[in-house]
Amino acid sequence: MDKSKFDKGEIEKVQNYLRRLFGNPEINLTPRMQREDLAEVYINGDLNGMLSLDTEDGDRSYNLQIGVPERELAPAQEWLKRVLRNPKIRVLARPKKKDSAEVFIGEEFIAVLFLEEGGKSFAFQMAILDTDVV
């Protein structure tokens, strides 16, 4: 088995985890052509992000990145709620940080929003451990 590419059922396991986490059955992961360590993330039929495989340190984990086309935190929060179809998503500013914010579902921390492109948009970045997707 090649550790640098997705296993046969691995993408499906991560997809099912994301569907449960966000409560959105319209999250679909599709292997990326020509890249066996990437999957495209479709939400409600639209390509919204990428999932990458991380095998550093011998452990398997995943990095979910979604582009958020907003400049301010409140509109970014509303965009995430609408696209991910989860009204419990909260975006909170980080103390002493102007270029990022934390993302929660209820009280659970799930991701970080990083300001990109000179402040024109955010990148939603979420680390997923292989133990999360079992």
Domain contains 125: yes
Domain contains 50: yes
Domain contains 115: yes
CA distance 33 to 72: 34
Domain contains 110: yes
State the total domains in the chain. Answer: 1
Domain contains 5: no
CA distance 18 to 33: 21
Domain contains 74: yes
pLDDT tens profile 63-111 = 999 999 999 999 999 999 999 999 999 999 998 888 899 999 999 999 9
Range of the structural domain that residue 96 is part of:
10-132
**pTM, rounded to two decimals:** 0.91
Domain contains 3: no
Q: H or E stretch including 105?
A: strand 100-105
